[in-house]
Amino acid sequence: MGRMEMNRTLFSRWLAGAILWLGLNGILAADPRIGLVTFSERPLVDRDENQQPKGLVVSVLAELMHRAGLEYNIKFAPPKRALLIAQRTENHCVFPIDRSQEREVFFKWVSPVLISRHGFYAQPERNIKLVTLKDARPYVIGSYLGSGVS
């Protein structure tokens, strides 16, 4: 074996060892917590005066994680970005999110945290009465971009 071949062999072994070391370090240094991505959807999810997550679904998830002995962190993002983060980032979930046929192929659905129905909401002082869907026609109806019902 010539000197040049020996140098290549040593370099290849060194490179393979370095890649293995970096890979193992990356795995060992990875955040063991589950990443939960959410957005404000009152009263299910919101932030308190210190910008900490609060709400019905946040309380349910905190109790579930506590009982399972799992560490987690919660990040806020707009709904569409939250879906992308959960889809592209390992060990991440998005909540609360509606289940739809479009999303079925991209996500593994763990379990419903809350079962709800969609509805129309207005400020109490508006005193709006709706009997049929047609009765809602004169009103502005909003939805979150990326929501299952938008």
In tens, the pLDDT along 15-45 reads 444 444 444 444 334 567 899 999 998 888 9
| DSSP code per residue over 14-82 | HHHHHHHHHHHHHHHHS--SEEEEE--BTTTBEE-TTS-EESHHHHHHHHHHHHHT--EEEEE--HHHH
37 & 13 share domain: no
* 49 or 2, which is more confident: 49
Average pLDDT estimate for 98-113: 81
CA nearest 112: which of 44, 50, 18?
44
CA nearest 141: which of 125, 115, 120, 127?
120
Q: Which residues pair with 74 in a beta bridge?
A: 36
Whether 84 maps to a domain, the answer reads yes
The pLDDT value recorded for residue 31 is: 64
17 & 70 share domain: no
Sole residue written with tokens 């002082």: 125
pTM of the model: 0.58
**56 pLDDT higher than 60:** yes
Whether 10 maps to a domain, the answer reads yes
Q: How many domains does the chain fold into?
A: 2
The pLDDT value recorded for residue 73 is: 93
125 & 64 share domain: yes
CATH of the domain at 54: 3.40.190.10
Report how far apart the first and last C-alpha atoms of the chain are (Å, whole number): 68
Confidence of residue 57 (pLDDT cuts 50, 70, 90): confident
6 & 78 share domain: no
**142 pLDDT higher than 50:** yes
Express each pLDDT in 79-103 by its tens digit. 999 999 999 998 898 988 877 888 8
33 and 73 in contact (C-beta within 8 Å)? yes
64 & 12 share domain: no
74: containing domain: 32-136
